[in-house]
Amino acid sequence: MVDDVLINKAATIERCVLRAKEEYEKSPSTFAADHTRQDAAILNVQRACEAALDMGQHLIRRERLGIPQSSRDVFTLLAQARWIETASLSSDRRFFNQALHAARP
């Protein structure tokens, strides 16, 4: 059975990652000094992370894996049900938290 929610979220993730890469690849040597491009890239990474979280919440609801109390719980429940690999869980969580809370000094 095709799950339109998962397909749409995957498309969102792909589009956001592509946009973030485009901002960087315009001119990698000037990216660090161009706050507008940094903001655009960060925003797209944040959107991709939020879409991944939405996908996880959708799977948890659909598969009745439990009731997550936090973003961390979403990934923990998915790992316990073997939808995602436990080995990458802590590094993925760190990246996710950094992306969602990214702020330019």
Q: Which residue has the higher pLDDT, 14 or 103?
A: 14
pTM for the whole thing? Answer: 0.81
Using the structure block, give the residue that is written with the tokens 């960060």. Answer: 42
Instruction: Give per-residue pLDDT as tens, 83-94.
Output: 988 877 776 667
Domain range annotation of the chain: 4-100
CA-closest candidate to residue 62, choices 87, 81, 76, 34: 81
- Nearest-angstrom CA–CA distance, 29 and 31: 6
Instruction: Give per-residue pLDDT as tens, 15-58.
Output: 999 999 999 999 999 999 999 999 999 999 999 999 999 999 99
